Every structure is written in structure tokens, then in C-alpha cells.
């Protein structure tokens, strides 16, 4: 009944004023107490707000009922809606001339808590970096560190402790690490914080927890914002939505599978235990690198990352150059590619770099010519 009344009032906004937001009460009351009528424009804006409210209400009902009514073979509804609530208006979007805001699903909890640093609102690009960094670092069981710049990892490493993991991540690409976002999957103590702050400038530091001593140390660096991520485990939204000139593309989120379950060795020599561990590590990292993605790795450390290129040879060249710049191009190395290798060129170039094992999804017409 209430929704029907709101819709009816909004539909007749030329003669009816509909108010659904208590935040509008003060200015409306002030106008009426002054003996002034609401203008046609005022009533139109209030009607638009009312229709947004009822549309949001209907979307919530549809989202609740979809899992009940949908069958696997008919899981894509003819009409699609998301019930989003504005969380905050951002300073700007990906570029300064773009407006932007953060929306959440109804009831979606905040996962970040500011524990130190200035309270300047996070930017659009900050949120992209946080999402990339936390998604990547949460994929590892051992202590791990991920350094992200422009939503892509520049260095990733696992180690016996967070300090060593950070040092290995930083060494993988110290140039790109400047001003980056650093994420850990273990709590940080004073030693870890001081190691980072004494070595480089960072914008955001992410971890599941911080010791009180570490927070006290961070408070002396107000430009560095430290965020507690809780829970650290990846929480995947149901859908990914991308706007196109043709409309909107919607897909399920890329949830990690059992990384080792579908692997099989197809070369003449199977990988050694160390190679297999490094292949799995590099494969996980490749998920978070823009395609075409190439990751060179050794002993739980990325040695070179190349991505976002129109072909895999260029991505390998980028990864090779970064490894050489860091002095980490000595073999043995492993290589992960997020797509199949249609020609032997990547394999042949990788062999000259000391790559001894490669992981890739396969499926190319020339697979047998690529596999050695």
C-alpha cells in the first residue's frame, strides 16, 4: 500500500507534493512557514526522488527472489537491476574532470577502517588500488606482500615473515613502488612499519591488523594512511558491470578456483617441486595483471611483471626488462601467462632468460609446436 501511494503521489506531482526523505523536511517546512509555495521544479525533484526510492525497493525484492526462482539454465533475468545506496561522493573519478561516487549494495558492510593518517577521503583510484591489492594478497596462505600501482601489482612476494616479504616485493620493482599501495595478509608490527617508512614514500598501507606500537609509529607520518582490512578474505560481489557504447556487459565475478586441481604436465620433463610451487605462485599473480599478462617468478617472488600489451611477446619484453633493471633476471625462473601461447616465440625468448618451466591455459591450435 505505501509504495502504491508514493508512486501515485509522484505521478501527480503537478498537484501533489510527495516527500520520502526526512532530510528534505527542514527546507520544505521553512518554505511553508514563510507562506511560500513549492515550485513546479521543487515538486518534480521530490517526485524523482520518490521514484528512485520505489525503484530501489523493487530492486531489493527482485534481488532477494532471484536466487529462489532462477534455474541454472535460465540464470540471466530479462531485466536486470542493482539496488545500490550511495556511500560517499568522491573528489573526482579516474581523471580530475570526471565526477564519481562510491555506492554499496543494500546492507553491504564497510571493510576498511582508518587506523592512522589524515582523514582525506579515498579517491576513485585509491579504491581500485585497494581492491586489487587486497584481492591479490588474500590469495596466499604464507605471509605475503603486494605492492600495487595504478590497480596492477608491481611486486609480489611470499616469505617466512612480513618484513622479508616486503623486501622481496620492493626489490622486484623499486621504481614503480614509489607512492604505491602496499598490502599484507598478516598483522604489522613496529619493525615492519619502520622498514617500509624508512625506505619509500607510500600512500596507503593495508593489513588485517596493526600492533599499538606500529600505530604510534605511523601517527608520526600523517601523510601515510593505514587501513585495517576486515575481513581480509576476498568478498566477491555477485556481478561485474561494465558500461559500453552498446549497453552494459554483466558477468559473474572471477572467483579463484582450486589452483592446482586442473593442472597437468604436458612437457617431456615434469616440473620439480620448487618449480611447481613457483608456477602456482606466478599463476595466482597473473590473475591480477591486465591481459596480456606475463609473470616471471622464482622462490615466491615476482622477478618481472608485464601486462596490458596487445601481444604476449611485448608483455614478456616488459617483464624481462623489469627483471634486468632489478638485477633479478638470473635463472632459474618460471613463467606464467594468463592466455594460451599460439606461437613458439614466447617460449623461445623465455628460454634465453633462464626460464625452466611455463604455466599457461593451453588450447591453441599450435599447442604441440609450442610444447617441448
Which residues form the catalytic set? 11, 150
- Collapsing DSSP to helix, strand or coil, 3 comes out as helix
The three three-digit cell numbers of residue 135, written as one number: 584481492
**How far apart are alpha carbons 194 and 214 in whole angstroms?**
8
**How far apart are alpha carbons 30 and 316 in whole angstroms?**
66
Residue 217, φ and ψ in degrees, nearest 5: -65, -40
**What is the CA angle 234-136-359, rounded to 5?**
120
| Region for 29 from its dihedrals, namely left if φ exceeds 0, alpha if ψ lies in -120 to 50, beta otherwise | alpha
**How far apart are alpha carbons 299 and 279 in whole angstroms?**
10
**How far apart are alpha carbons 61 and 59 in whole angstroms?**
5
Look-up of cell digits 558491470: 241
Q: Which residues fall within 8 angstroms of residue 108, CB to CB, at 6 or more apart?
A: none
**What is the CA angle 295-125-123, rounded to 5?**
155
Question: What is residue 224's DSSP assignment?
Answer: S
The helix or strand, by DSSP H or E, that contains position 363, with its residue range, turns out to be none
Look-up of cell digits 595504478: 150
**How far apart are alpha carbons 353 and 188 in whole angstroms?**
36
Nearest to 318 by CA among 278, 349, 354, 363: 349
Q: Which residues fall within 8 angstroms of residue 140, CB to CB, at 6 or more apart?
A: 158, 185, 281, 284
Amino acid at each position: 500500500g505505501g509504495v502504491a501511494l508514493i508512486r501515485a503521489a509522484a505521478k501527480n506531482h503537478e498537484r501533489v507534493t510527495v516527500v520520502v526523505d526526512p532530510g528534505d523536511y527542514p527546507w520544505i517546512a521553512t518554505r511553508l512557514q514563510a507562506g511560500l509555495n513549492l515550485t513546479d521544479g521543487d515538486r518534480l525533484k521530490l517526485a524523482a526522488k520518490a521514484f528512485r526510492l520505489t525503484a530501489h525497493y523493487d530492486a531489493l525484492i527482485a534481488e532477494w527472489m532471484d536466487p529462489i526462482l532462477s534455474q541454472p539454465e535460465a540464470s540471466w533475468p530479462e531485466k536486470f537491476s542493482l539496488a545500490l545506496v550511495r556511500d560517499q561522493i568522491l573528489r573526482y573519478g579516474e581523471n580530475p574532470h570526471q565526477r564519481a561516487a562510491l555506492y554499496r549494495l543494500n546492507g553491504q558492510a564497510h571493510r576498511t577502517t582508518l587506523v592512522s593518517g589524515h582523514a582525506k577521503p579515498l579517491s576513485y583510484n585509491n579504491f581500485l588500488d585497494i581492491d586489487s591489492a587486497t584481492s591479490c594478497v588474500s590469495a596466499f596462505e604464507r605471509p605475503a606482500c603486494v605492492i600495487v600501482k595504478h590497480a596492477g601489482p608491481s611486486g609480489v612476494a611470499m616469505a617466512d615473515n612480513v618484513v622479508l616479504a616486503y623486501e622481496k616485493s620492493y626489490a622486484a620493482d623499486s621504481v614503480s613502488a614509489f607512492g604505491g599501495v602496499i598490502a599484507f595478509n598478516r598483522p604489522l608490527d613496529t619493525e615492519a612499519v619502520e622498514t617500509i617508512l624508512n625506505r619509500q614514500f607510500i600512500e596507503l598501507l593495508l593489513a588485517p591488523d596493526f600492533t599499538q606500537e606500529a600505530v604510534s609509529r605511523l601517527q608520526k607520518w600523517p601523510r601515510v594512511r593505514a587501513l585495517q582490512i576486515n575481513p581480509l578474505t576476498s568478498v566477491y560481489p555477485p556481478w561485474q558491470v561494465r558500461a559500453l557504447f552498446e549497453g552494459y556487459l554483466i558477468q559473474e565475478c572471477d572467483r579463484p578456483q582450486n589452483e592446482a586441481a586442473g593442472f597437468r604436465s604436458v612437457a617431456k620433463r615434469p616440473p620439480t617441486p620448487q618449480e611447481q610451487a613457483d608456477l602456482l605462485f606466478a599463476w595466482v599473480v597473473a590473475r591480477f595483471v591486465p591481459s596480456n599478462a606475463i609473470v616471471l617468478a622464482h622462490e615466491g617472488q615476482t622477478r618481472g611483471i608485464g601486462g596490458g600489451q596487445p601481444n604476449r611477446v611485448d608483455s614478456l619484453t616488459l617483464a624481462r626488462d623489469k627483471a634486468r633493471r632489478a638485477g633479478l633476471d638470473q635463472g632459474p625462473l618460471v613463467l606464467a601467462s594468463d592466455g594460451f601461447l599460439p606461437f613458439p616465440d614466447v617460449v623461445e625468448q623465455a628460454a634465453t632468460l633462464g626460464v625452466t618451466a611455463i604455466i599457461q591455459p593451453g588450447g591453441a591450435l599450435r599447442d604441440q609446436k609450442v610444447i617441448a
